[in-house]
């Protein structure tokens, strides 16, 4: 047995082999009993590490450090890529309201209880409260992929997670930067503020530079997935290395790199999906290794404080997220489930604790903080993913991996406030919106407008009953593109029945799909809007998420799957 343990001690790669093999096995078993696969990964780490088998030593852990940083960097890159400013034009207020509700309630409650009832230590209580804001991006991504979830709920959850972690990192850095004052020192407030601004500026420069590098390199090699993947990995390596050189946390720069890509590159979808084949491996490595750090015996050290932190955070995340979504006026399935989906906590929290370890003069505080967070991460990462999975199931967005009609009419492609009064003004407005929402070029707009108007001049696409379906053909592209517009005042569209149009659905298809797809789409949309109740609800919509909810009502979901044929 001694020789076998020595094999682990001297060879982190052998340890990783055992971890991944056991992780895959336990994840499979977890899935069989309807638990998130991530639970199996973490359980494997706990078994191989302390306190069960004890095969992971300090030397082995040191060998894992680089792997953890890269895995966390890639996952942070993925989360940052969910901050799409165009998508947030419709969903931004909802995301901000949810984030504000749960961040403020969680931070305030954790701080007040720990400072006034448990610790009586201002600096440490602020650090704990800052960490409590964070939500595990890797756990959320893993559960979403595991359950094949997508839709309005997921499109709300991912930006909220990103906002959580941006805020947690910024708040934690602010508190660390203020330590001299909070602990009783005499550092000038202006100096402290300048140091914080300097750190954030460096992180922004690193993140934006790495994002632009990926954009430039990928757009020069659009036909090579291997070269695009190489550029992503080089950028994440560079961002992580530069962050370490400046003694910064590497999460924020990588989030900014992902955010830069999603908002600037015309090939963003290809860039962001090119490393999906290796993402599964990264998730297994990260969480099995993270599990080796989660010493269940540390619960005995922190005692009721760890349990108090877990319960306070879980409760306030759930209540705060629910209240934020409710007061904004989010759909019922969002405000009832969004709060509990935010419970997972691991990578970002561990990263922030690691950042504190590099700060001089707070050794005892850092040790206590590490013990507390690692103890509660054990609970958060076992119970949290189950809560997220439950929320996704209740939201009705699991197992949505089949092609759907609704995908070309998702929230970011809906304009609930068409202002035009005439047919040709309305067509130009909806085409212009289509180009902006799909980030198309001026030439692409001209080509689409020419195709749509040519069809319109042959015969009006105002099919009657307040509906128009203008459509056009392009040389190439995805199976179907589109946009939807709502006009509350109505548009004179030369409709077949002479009535004003309130609902405009623009459909764009590539030439190779023109013959069959146009008819199929028109047929399915006609079925949907032939229901007067649905049609009247759509006419009265004031926001894009209201339109999405109507289109995805449970009793009408079957029309979405015609693309399978």
Q: What is the CATH number of the domain that holds 248?
A: 1.20.1530.20
In a domain, 136, yes or no: yes
Residue that finishes a domain, picked among 339, 364, 395: 395
Question: How many independent structural domains does the chain possess?
Answer: 2
Q: At a CB cut-off of 8 Å and minimum separation 6, what does 89 contact? A: 412
Query: What CA dihedral angle connects 147, 478, 450 and 560, to 10 degrees?
Result: -40
Q: Give pLDDT, residue 563.
A: 39
Select from 349, 376, 395 the last residue of a domain: 395
Q: Would residue 7 count as lying in a domain? A: no
28 falls within a domain: no
pLDDT at 184: 59
Mark whether 487 and 391 lie in a shared domain. no
Q: Please name the residue ranges forming H helices in 33-151.
A: 37-48, 58-80, 85-113, 122-133, 137-146
Residue 396: helix, strand or coil by DSSP?
coil
Kindly report the pTM of this predicted structure.
Answer: 0.73
In the numeric block, the tokens 């693309």 are attached to 563
Domain at 492, CATH number: 3.40.930.10
Q: Per the domain annotation, does 231 fall within a domain?
A: yes
547, 544, 552: which is closest to 90 by C-alpha?
A: 544
Query: In terms of domains, do 428 and 384 share one?
Result: no
Which residue segment(s) compose the domain that 449 sits in?
405-564
Considering the domain architecture, whether residues 409 and 357 belong to the same structural domain is answered as no
Asked if residue 6 belongs to a domain, the reply is no
DSSP state of 115: I
Rounded Cα–Cα distance for residues 152 and 420 (Å) = 28
Indicate if 173 and 224 belong to the same structural domain. yes
> Residue 395 has what pLDDT?
85
What is the structure's pLDDT at 556? 43
Contact 30, 42 (CB under 8 A): no
pLDDT at position 553: 62
Distance CA 58, CA 117 (A): 35
In a shared domain, residues 391 and 409: no
The pLDDT value recorded for residue 562 is 36
- The confidence score (pLDDT) of residue 251 equals 79
User: What's the confidence (pLDDT) of residue 129?
Assistant: 94
Same structural domain for residues 245 and 321?
yes
- Neighbouring CB atoms inside 10 A of 450's CB total 11
Same domain, 426 and 364: no
| 421 and 533 share one domain | yes
Q: Answer yes or no: do 143 and 97 share one domain.
A: yes
Q: How far apart are CA 206 and CA 251, in angstroms?
A: 11
Q: Would 22 be classed as within a structural domain?
A: no
For residue 233, is it within any domain?
yes
Residue 88 included in any domain: yes
Q: For position 557, what pLDDT does the model report? A: 46
Please report how the helices 12-32 and 276-293 are oriented relative to each other, as an axis angle in degrees rounded to 10: 100
- 503's enclosing H/E stretch is strand 501-510
**Shared domain check, 415 and 378:** no
* Cα 236 to Cα 69: distance, rounded to the nearest angstrom: 10
Who's near 542: CB < 8 A, 6+ residues apart? 416
**Residue 347 and residue 470 in one domain:** no
Beta strands in 216-345 (DSSP E): none
The pLDDT, as a whole number, for residue 558 is: 43
Low-confidence residues of the chain: pLDDT under 50: 1-2, 554-565
Name the residue among 429, 513, 516 with its Cα closest to residue 477: 513
For residue 501, give the 3-state DSSP assignment.
strand
Looking at 344, 376, 395, the residue that finishes a domain is: 395
Same structural domain, 161 and 250: yes
């Amino acid at each position: 047995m001694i020789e076998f343990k020595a094999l682990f001690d001297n060879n982190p790669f052998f340890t990783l082999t055992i971890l991944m093999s056991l992780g895959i096995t336990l994840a499979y078993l977890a899935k069989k009993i309807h638990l998130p696969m991530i639970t199996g990964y973490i359980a494997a780490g706990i078994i191989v590490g302390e306190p069960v088998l004890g095969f992971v030593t300090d030397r082995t852990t040191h060998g894992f450090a680089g792997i953890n940083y890269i895995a966390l960097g890639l996952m942070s890159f993925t989360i940052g890529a969910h901050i799409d400013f165009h998508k947030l034009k419709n969903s931004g207020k909802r995301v901000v309201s949810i984030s504000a509700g749960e961040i403020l309630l969680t931070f305030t409650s954790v701080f007040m209880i720990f400072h006034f009832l448990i610790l009586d230590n201002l600096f440490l209580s602020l650090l704990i409260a800052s960490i409590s804001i964070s939500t595990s991006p890797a756990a959320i991504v893993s559960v979403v992929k595991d359950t094949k979830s997508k839709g309005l709920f997921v499109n709300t959850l991912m930006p909220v997670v990103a906002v959580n972690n941006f805020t947690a990192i910024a708040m934690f850095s602010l508190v660390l930067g203020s330590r001299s004052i909070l602990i009783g020192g005499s550092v000038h407030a202006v100096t402290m503020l300048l140091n914080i601004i300097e750190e954030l500026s460096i992180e922004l420069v690193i993140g934006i530079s790495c994002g632009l590098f990926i954009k430039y390199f990928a757009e020069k090699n659009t036909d090579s997935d291997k070269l695009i993947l190489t550029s992503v990995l080089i950028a994440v390596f560079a961002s992580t290395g530069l962050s370490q050189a400046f003694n910064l946390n590497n999460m924020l720069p990588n989030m900014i790199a992902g955010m830069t890509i999603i908002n600037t590159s015309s090939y963003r979808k290809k860039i962001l999906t090119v490393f999906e084949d290796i993402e599964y491996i990264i998730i297994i490595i990260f969480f099995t290794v993270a599990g080796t750090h989660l010493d269940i015996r540390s619960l005995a050290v922190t005692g009721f404080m760890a349990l108090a932190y877990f319960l306070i955070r879980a409760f306030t995340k759930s209540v705060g997220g629910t209240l934020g979504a409710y007061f904004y006026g989010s759909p019922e399935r969002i405000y009832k489930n969004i709060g509990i989906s935010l419970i997972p906590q691991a990578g970002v929290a561990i990263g922030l604790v690691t950042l504190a370890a590099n700060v001089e003069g707070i050794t005892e505080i850092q040790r206590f903080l590490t013990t507390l967070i690692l103890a509660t991460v054990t609970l958060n990462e076992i119970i949290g993913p189950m809560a997220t999975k439950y929320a996704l199931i209740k939201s009705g967005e699991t197992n949505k991996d089949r092609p759907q009609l609704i995908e070309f009419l998702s929230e970011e492609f809906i304009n609930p406030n068409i202002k035009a009064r005439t047919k040709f003004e309305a067509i130009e407005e909806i085409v212009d919106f289509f180009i902006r929402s799909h980030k198309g070029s001026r030439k692409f707009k001209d080509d689409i407008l020419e195709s749509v108007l040519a069809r319109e001049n042959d015969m009006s696409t105002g099919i009657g009953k307040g509906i128009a379906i203008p459509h056009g053909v392009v040389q190439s592209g995805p199976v179907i593109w589109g946009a939807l517009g709502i006009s509350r005042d109505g548009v004179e569209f030369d409709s077949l029945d002479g009535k004003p149009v309130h609902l405009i659905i623009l459909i764009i298809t590539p030439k190779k799909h023109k013959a069959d797809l146009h008819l199929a789409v028109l047929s399915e949309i006609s079925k949907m809007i032939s229901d007067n109740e649905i049609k009247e609800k759509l006419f009265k919509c004031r926001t894009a998420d209201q339109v999405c909810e109507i289109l995805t009502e449970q009793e009408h979901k079957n029309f979405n799957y015609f693309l399978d044929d």
